Chain A
Amino acid sequence: MASIINMPRLSPTMEEGVLAKWTKKEGDKISPGDVIAEVETDKANMDFPLEDEGVLLKLLVKEGTTVKLGDPVAILGEVGEDPVKALADLKLGSVAAPAEAKPAAEAKPAAEAKPAAAKMAKDPEEETAPANAPASAAKTAAAPVAPPKSVAPPKSETLNPQPSTLNSTGRVKVSPLARKIADERGVDVRSISGSGPGGRVVKRDVLEARAGGRTRAAAPINLEDVLGPASQMRKAIARRLTEAKREVPHIYLTADATVDRLFDLREQLNELGGPKVSVNDLVIKAYAMALRRIPEANSSWTAEGIVRHGRVDISVAVSIPDGLITPVVRGAAEKAVTDIAQEVKSLAERGKQKKLKPEEYSDGTASISNLGMYGVREFVAIINPPEAVILAVGAAQKRAVVRERDGKDEMIIARQMTLTLSCDHRVVDGVLGAQLLAEIVKILEKPMAMVI
């Protein structure tokens, strides 16, 4: 008897997932634990394993499709079973299908319960072994509800880092003396891992901890290597960037833009009130406008051929805990700078809270990454396929610049920014890349073009 495979809950906050890639095809035999697909969740790409065995009769959704939690994605049956007939049978029995989706929906409150917040009967073992608390709390929280029949329970929840001194009730175990000293020094005891009985924070731990970001006492140096699990996000970053760097022939072009006028413009814009505009917002706008003017660079290399994108959607790299995410500013060329500013702010905030929907961080046409705020003068970025270009933005710095005036060289102090464009050489040759970069520089140096 065939059964419908539904989109599982692969992260605690997941509402829907993008079926990024089928790792099994129709007709493949499935053993329990086999991964049949990769699903992009709100957090990262996750493996989609099955617990049942059988034959994958039919794939119901195409790669890249966004599927709501519990909606059907495939049909699993037995060897020799006719997929057409099975499908017909299942359509009749489609009332039964939600029954499989339901457990997943019911699992929500349990799976969403944060380990630290999980209120449970005091277990003395957990009280005294807080290092184990997140894992066991997650276990306990998940226990009352069985996972959806055909789906292996996601394991990622247990990887959430928790300060080791938090016990199962979220209370920090700290000695009265340690508490007093911590209060005095402005040390957050929740950030300290305790060395006392049962992981209790004691005086020595506080003395060894950093006080308000400053090191009061030298932190203990751990000479041992520590092996920890890689988060799904780190795995996704590792896989995608390795693939990009290996598969995409990168070329790098660097130019300086003099941005005194850009800073003046920003100042004027911010004097008008309204959303605060950052230099980065202006660079996004300039980048999008330049891509509009040099449309050949706004392309993707695909197996079928080169896609020239009609839309200019800028993926903006945002650093989030343990990784990064690239929310997309759609139609940036046509948007007002203030709108871009607002949108980037919202996307970045929600990205940091891991609340972005998949469509908000996928399908950009060109990327931008800015490390200027960290004082980086210039750097080269890895292309985010299938996009063909990524712009790496360095810090705007006052530099001694030699310029020619009235036939004479003179040295002035100018605010400059170094931009490096990485191009997929399969799509963007050096000259094309240079044209795009020159346009970006031109717009940044004559920034009024962005507001008229």
Chain B
Amino acid sequence: MADVAKPADVAKPADTAKPADSTEKDLVVIGSGPGGYTAAIRAAQLGLKVAVVERDAVGGICTNWGCIPTKALLRTAEIIETLKHADEFGIVVEGVKPDFDKVIARSRSVAEKNSKGIEYLFKKNKIELIRGTAKLTKSGNRAALTVDGKALAAKNILLATGARPKPLPGIEHDGKSIISYKEAMALKTKPARLVIIGAGAIGVEFAYFYNQLGTKVTLLEALPQILPVEDEEVAAALAKRFKATGIEVQTGVKVERVEKGATVIVHLAGGAKVEAEQCLLAAGVRGNVEGIGLEECGVKLDRGFISVDLKSYRTSVENVFAIGDVIGPPMLAHKASAEAIACVEVMAKHKVHAVNYSAIPGCTYCHPEIASVGLTEKKAKEAGLKFKIGRFPFMASGKARAAGETDGFVKVLVGDPHGEILGAHIIGGASTDMIATLTLAASNELTSDEILSTVHAHPTFAEAMKEAVAAALGEAIDI
């Protein structure tokens, strides 16, 4: 997931800006995000000669401007929230005050360390890191490659160029008034008011973060629920919690225009308006497909994403492959990494760990956390599947009560009659870690029998998953 910052912004340390190796590479990966760097390392493990071309910071959006730095920010927000309830735990805490500069600095430092970690992994795996901008050129039926105009011989090319924030019609990011996640995680001053357009994972996470830091947050969503891809019940529970903690949540609203001045004023259909210091536009992302010579080489696109065969990740050009955000949703780092491994294994004619697209987990890291895998109740009904629903509230969990984390629940859709896990939705607890177990079950077609005969440690949040499955069968013990 190469970032799209202008080349002028990009620092090019002299030591890594050496010219391309003259010998041909088996694989050149374009982009060093979670798709690109994973592909490069797996390819090196399989004995391929690999180079990675990156025009910005190593690690892509995930490491530098996404997954990792936001988790650092959210940890701060969580601590603030916990401290607000310190007296419940018997601690007297006074004068809690976030130092915004330090919060941002810590997040940047975490990102930088992770980026360096990837550079180290490249060295360890003898992967050549080439700083520059790659471009495909036509070479017969195949594609060749240049980096900053210089030819780089490559047998195979893997496009892992990622995605970038998508503007709305008439509402473009300007980096000052209308910002993207990138500016939102490195603001100089904390805004007094923030309006967020789009209540997907990015919008929701920033809403939580800024709200805990004392910003007055308004979260706008065009669809009827926040976190539109999540289960309705889970989204409703989060919306309720957000409202209770002071976030103004408006769903089913259409943004007409954004008026920029000393402040920004977001005009909604029907005449309502929301005023704030800044507007975070988080209404989705689009693939980075421009300026890399795709058209010239005949790499076909479909609705703005690169078309690939989902088994080999080969594009319409024989020696060009693509993975991750640039081939389309779901736009998730772990989806990109899984595709990276499968793609490279196909390329190296190794045994392939194919991606199971029906069991890709999704996580949102506000508090309470949200995680899910498989179908939502609505989707399962639409598909005409027969299933039973099991729910287990953390209120009934000993561990959750002890931890003071009784918000939320586990909801599972258990297939009828075989007991397979059609979907699992968790809000609260340690959901983003817990989802791994249910993903393992869903991905490998384990059924309620296997889950119920697996001993779960007590007391844990994870017990709730087993209890939810038991509840679907009317066999729960603790509720």
Contacts and interface: CB of A to CB of B under 8 A. Distances in A.
B446 A176 contact: yes
B230 interface: no
B445 A203 contact: yes
Contact of B446 (A128, A175, A198): A175
A181 B445 CA distance: 11
Interface string A166-208: 0000000001111011000000000000001110101100000
Nearest to A195: B354
Contacts of B449: 176
B277 interface: no
B420 interface: yes
Contacts of B353: 197
B450 interface: yes
A177 B445 contact: yes
A198 B350 CA distance: 12
Contact of A175 (B354, B419, B444): B444
A176 B450 contact: yes
Contacts of A324: none
B360 to A, nearest CB: 15
A113 interface: no
Nearest to B443: A197
A129 interface: yes
B220 to A, nearest CB: 41
B354 A181 contact: no
Nearest to A204: B445
Interface size class on chain B is 10 to 19
A177 B420 contact: yes
Contacts of B420: 177, 203
Interface size class on chain A is 10 to 19
Nearest to A198: B351
A202 B351 CA distance: 18
Interface string A97-108: 000000000000
Contacts of B445: 175-178, 196, 202-203
A128 B351 CA distance: 9
Contacts of A198: 351
A380 B450 CA distance: 59
B372 to A, nearest CB: 20
A168 to B, nearest CB: 15
Contact of B447 (A128, A129, A176, A202): A176
Given A177-B418, A177-B420, A197 B354 contact: yes
A40 to B, nearest CB: 40
A178 B420 CA distance: 10
Nearest to A180: B418
B351 A129 contact: yes
Interface in B55-84: none
A181 B418 contact: yes
Interface in A131-190: 175-178, 180-181
A400 to B, nearest CB: 54
A177 B351 contact: no
Nearest to B352: A197
A15 B169 CA distance: 83
Contacts of B444: 175, 196-197, 200
A198 B444 CA distance: 12
B354 A177 contact: no
Chain B CB within 10 Å — which of A129, A176, A180 has the most? A176
A180 B447 contact: yes
The 3 closest A-B CB pairs, nearest first, are A175-B445, A177-B445, A177-B420
27 contacts: A128-B351, A129-B351, A175-B444, A175-B446, A176-B445, A176-B446, A176-B447, A176-B450, A177-B415, A177-B418, A177-B419, A177-B420, A177-B446, A177-B447, A178-B445, A180-B418, A180-B419, A180-B447, A181-B418, A196-B444, A196-B445, A197-B353, A197-B354, A197-B444, A198-B351, A200-B444, A203-B420
Given A177-B415, A177-B419, 17 more contacts: A129-B351, A175-B444, A175-B446, A176-B445, A176-B450, A177-B445, A177-B447, A178-B445, A180-B419, A181-B418, A196-B445, A197-B354, A197-B444, A198-B351, A200-B444, A202-B445, A203-B420
